[in-house]
Structure 1
Amino acid sequence: MLDPHASLPYSATVHPDARRAKRLTWDSREAGPDVAFVALPGEKMHGNAFVQQALDRGAPFVLTDQDVPRAVRVPEGGAQAALFAWARRERARNRLVVGITGSAGKTTAKTYVAAALDAHAMPVFNTMPAIACFLIQFGASPRPLVVEMGIDRLGEMAELMDLVRPDVGVVTTIGPAHLEGLGSVENIVREKGLILAAPRALVGAQAAAHYPGVDSYGFGDVTFAGQDLEITPQVARFCFGSWRVILPLASRVQAEAAVLGLQLAREAGLTMLDAAVRLSVASVPGGRYRVLPGRFTIIDDAYNASPVAVRAALDALQAQPGRHVSVLGHMLELGEQERALHAEVGAYARERADLTFGVGPLAAELGDRAYATVPELLDALKAELRDGDVVLVKASRGISMTPAERLQAGVGLDVVVNELQAWRDAPTPAAGH
């Protein structure tokens, strides 16, 4: 429990009615009897505008610079600095924090590392305030912490390193992503590479060429290698030392993340059998290479996309038996290279898939069958798909867009996954009815 009356690492006046909470949120809609609210500055509005809403919802306390009931009141404009100071103190109480970054595969690596280490894992939303709330909630836990440290602007990794201070820093992959904010792949290598200043550093096989001398993991010519990788539609199998590992419905990317998890579990002195068992039941969040079997198979990889991530997904698609169908949507934040990078990905899709579909403003670059909007794409897919096909769906999520804007722009293709799955699994009407 988080006690607002305990000695805090910042100047604050605590209202006598402030109560202990189980966790913190910066979203007043999540506030409740066990969830305290932090009033932070936002892009459009300040969290102070929602303090009363949080109190009405029963928040045990609110971290704010306002004089209100149940306030943990800080100096004017000091709520965010107070939150980060609190997070740093709680993080310092944990014995093992793993930070993971990369141009693709961060969430997958986080999921498998957390399973292998039996750790608390950072939820999907990985902004600085979200990470701070996570560190405050779990910093004192005896279990390790795994934090996804994504960046989209210069200087952000340095800020994250100051907050998280990971004991282990990992770079999964390097490629063109968030170029609007980061500028170039060279900048990406430098900025993401700051995480490798952690006491222990590891890089994935794909990223290893960018960081010579840093220990690497995966398969092939790496420092810590899995052996005898075998991928079928049902499982990925490999050996790690004397241990045989089985991952249901997994691809090479998941297997590489499992190798990372096993190596970190070994270094932490954990029982390898237990780590392998936990890996065998690990489950990634929706939209991150979830295989949905049926009369045709859907690969739901629709949560986000960058060129390196799409290429990895297309490789996994090609490894599946059946007719291969790629459904690719817009990749965001690629700056001036946007059209060229979409064309490169589309060319790769045409090599890996039997049928290629594209949707959005650069649909023609992404697929031979190009559609301006998602409804048009869905109609075409339903007319084309047949039993035994394997369909990969991948695009950027467009988190700042409305649902209508996403449908028009060809991003956030989770709606395509959901519609195809419902249509595929719907009962077939009996003859004559």
Structure 2
Amino acid sequence: MLDPHALPPHVSRGAAVHPEARPAVRLTWDSREASPEVAFVALPGEKMHGNTFVQRALDAGAPFVLTDLDVPRAVRVSDAQEALFAWARHERAKNPLVVGITGSAGKTTAKSYAAAALDAHYMPVFNTMPAIACFLVEFGASGRPLVVEMGIDRPGEMAELMALVRPDVGVVTTIGPAHLEQLGSVEAIVREKGGILAGTRGLVGAQASAFYPGVDSYGFGDVTYAGHDVALTARGATFTYAGVPVELPLAARVQAEAAVLALRLAQEAGVALPEAAGRLSQVQVPGGRYRVHPGRYTVIDDAYNASPVAVTAALDALSAQAGGGPREDGTGGRRISVLGRMLELGPGERALHAEVGAHARERADLTYGVGVYAHELGERAMRTVPELLDALRGEVRDGDVVLVKASRGISWTPDRRAQEGVGLDVVVDALLRWRDGHD
């Protein structure tokens, strides 16, 4: 329990704790999540300060609120954000193993597999600084390892994350063009993401190893810690690591490489490898991150986000999924890619979309593009998602394998212009409904 009356000295110093403040199970910076077990931290936001929602949190029964306001059940401090971060650093210091993971793609997958192998607590989908701080406060003293996704999109952000998380092991999964509007160049990405390796036990994926000479690498082939005899089929991935067989249902190469990382981390932590490998076979990555839905036709849901390196990897995986193109009777068996816009790629974004589209044409039997760069991404270009849905409904048939991938949400250019992603999760939902006879 998180007791507001027993805060660390450097947090409680100068704080005024309301006598009715009660212990909480966890913290949130989102007042909509406040409840009798979840306390609320009132933080500054881009548009509104969390103080605006303090009363909503109190009405929801929040055990306490961390704020500078004089309200019931308040832990009143001069700077709620700094108090939260100080509390997080204090709790993190109690944990003997914290793994931090960054990269241009594959962070969430690597996090999921590393956490399974280590039997660790791990960050949920949201990986902002406040979310990480709340996570550290809740689980820092749990006695179990922690795995933290440390994504960045601007210069200096990794240094801020390192000061908060202080990982014992720093991992870079991949390097490629992503968040170029803020970071500027691949060279800057290498430098900024490489900050996770400073003062830590560093590990880098096979693709990233060329950017970090001398740092131990993992994966398959010419790496420091290698899996062997990897086999990738429509049923999943198999390989061995240190003589231990590993089977990953419905997984592709990216998941297999993440599993090698996970097993190396387990090995260094003294976890029995057969036990760790058994847990890896049960991993379920979050929706939108290369989740395979088999059935009359197979849908690969990779629609959460996209960058050139991530789309290329997904297309390579797609090529191993289907059975070599259309069947003789014309009933399917095709590889179909459905790709939308990749955000935050800067002035060279058209060329990067064209490169990805060319790779799609090599890896897929039929290619669709939708949105701003539809013609670059696919032979069949659709202006809008409704047009895309109409086309797919009349095209997809039994035996096909359909990969759906794009950036979703909104990003901001340096001059604060909004760029909107396509949001192809609705396409995944529609494909699954049609396949299963619900629409």
In the superposition, the TM-score normalised over structure 2's length comes to 0.94
Following TM superposition, by how much is the alpha carbon of 1:151 offset from its aligned partner in structure 2, in angstroms? 0.2
Candidates 339, 350, 369, aligned match of 1:339: 350
* 2:435 aligned partner, one-letter code: R
Relative to structure 1, the CA distance from residue 427 to residue 53 in structure 2 (aligned partners, 3 Å threshold; closer, same or farther) is closer
Structure 2 residue aligned with 1:326: 337
SS of the residue aligned with 2:251?
coil
* 1:230 aligned partner, one-letter code: A
> Would you say 1:165 and 2:166 are equivalent positions?
yes
Taking the aligned partners of 1:377 and 1:179, their CA distance within structure 2 comes to: 28
Taking the aligned partners of 1:112 and 1:16, their CA distance within structure 2 comes to: 43
SS of the residue aligned with 1:5?
helix
Contact kept, 8 Å, 1:91 with 1:140, in 2: the verdict is yes
Structure 2 residue aligned with 1:89: 90
SS of the residue aligned with 2:394?
helix
Identity %: 77
Taking the aligned partners of 1:81 and 1:337, their CA distance within structure 2 comes to: 38
Deviations 1:3-62 (A, max 9, x none): 000032223111000000000000000000000000000000000000000000000000
SS of the residue aligned with 2:21?
coil
Structure 2 residue aligned with 1:277: 278
- Further displaced range: 220-229 or 10-19: 10-19
SS of the residue aligned with 1:343?
helix
> Would you say 1:68 and 2:79 are equivalent positions?
no
Candidates 19, 32, 52, aligned match of 1:29: 32
- Further displaced range: 377-386 or 100-109: 377-386
Relative to structure 1, the CA distance from residue 410 to residue 45 in structure 2 (aligned partners, 3 Å threshold; closer, same or farther) is closer
Structure 1 residue aligned with 2:432: 421
Stretches of structure 1 that go unaligned for 5 or more consecutive residues are: 402-407, 429-433
Deviations 1:177-231 (A, max 9, x none): 0011111100000000000114310000000000000000000000000000011
Structure 1 residue aligned with 2:5: 5
Contact kept, 8 Å, 1:332 with 1:398, in 2: the verdict is no
Structure 2 residue aligned with 1:144: 145
SS of the residue aligned with 1:396?
coil
Following TM superposition, by how much is the alpha carbon of 1:427 offset from its aligned partner in structure 2, in angstroms? 6.4
Structure-to-structure mapping, 1:140-289, within 5 angstroms: 140-289=141-290
Taking the aligned partners of 1:88 and 1:412, their CA distance within structure 2 comes to: 36
Deviations 1:133-175 (A, max 9, x none): 0000000011100000000000000000000000000000000
Stretches of structure 2 that go unaligned for 5 or more consecutive residues are: 323-332, 413-418
Relative to structure 1, the CA distance from residue 410 to residue 103 in structure 2 (aligned partners, 3 Å threshold; closer, same or farther) is closer
Candidates 18, 21, 45, aligned match of 1:18: 21
Structure 2 residue aligned with 1:356: 367
Candidates 40, 48, 51, aligned match of 1:48: 51
SS of the residue aligned with 2:204?
strand
SS of the residue aligned with 1:384?
coil
Contact kept, 8 Å, 1:295 with 1:424, in 2: the verdict is yes
Taking the aligned partners of 2:423 and 2:273, their CA distance within structure 1 comes to: 38
Contact kept, 8 Å, 2:64 with 2:74, in 1: the verdict is yes
Structure 2 residue aligned with 1:128: 129
Taking the aligned partners of 2:184 and 2:91, their CA distance within structure 1 comes to: 34
SS of the residue aligned with 2:348?
helix
SS of the residue aligned with 1:24?
strand
SS of the residue aligned with 1:93?
coil
Contact kept, 8 Å, 2:410 with 2:420, in 1: the verdict is no
> Would you say 1:365 and 2:376 are equivalent positions?
yes
In the superposition, the TM-score normalised over structure 1's length comes to 0.95
Contact kept, 8 Å, 2:105 with 2:173, in 1: the verdict is yes
Taking the aligned partners of 1:345 and 1:7, their CA distance within structure 2 comes to: 51
Taking the aligned partners of 1:164 and 1:357, their CA distance within structure 2 comes to: 41
Taking the aligned partners of 2:124 and 2:168, their CA distance within structure 1 comes to: 19
Contact kept, 8 Å, 1:305 with 1:394, in 2: the verdict is yes
Contact kept, 8 Å, 1:373 with 1:409, in 2: the verdict is no
Following TM superposition, by how much is the alpha carbon of 1:400 offset from its aligned partner in structure 2, in angstroms? 6.6
Taking the aligned partners of 2:94 and 2:65, their CA distance within structure 1 comes to: 24
Following TM superposition, by how much is the alpha carbon of 1:235 offset from its aligned partner in structure 2, in angstroms? 2.0
What RMSD, in angstroms, separates the aligned Cα atoms of the two structures? 1.3
SS of the residue aligned with 2:6?
coil
Taking the aligned partners of 1:30 and 1:148, their CA distance within structure 2 comes to: 21
Following TM superposition, by how much is the alpha carbon of 1:335 offset from its aligned partner in structure 2, in angstroms? 1.1
Contact kept, 8 Å, 2:305 with 2:405, in 1: the verdict is yes
Taking the aligned partners of 2:31 and 2:411, their CA distance within structure 1 comes to: 19
Following TM superposition, by how much is the alpha carbon of 1:338 offset from its aligned partner in structure 2, in angstroms? 1.1
- Further displaced range: 9-18 or 309-318: 9-18
Contact kept, 8 Å, 1:168 with 1:198, in 2: the verdict is no
Structure 2 residue aligned with 1:315: 316
Contact kept, 8 Å, 2:409 with 2:421, in 1: the verdict is no
Structure 2 residue aligned with 1:80: 81
Contact kept, 8 Å, 2:408 with 2:420, in 1: the verdict is no
Contact kept, 8 Å, 2:237 with 2:253, in 1: the verdict is yes
* 1:72 aligned partner, one-letter code: V
SS of the residue aligned with 1:153?
coil
Deviations 1:250-272 (A, max 9, x none): 00000000000000000000111
Taking the aligned partners of 2:197 and 2:422, their CA distance within structure 1 comes to: 32
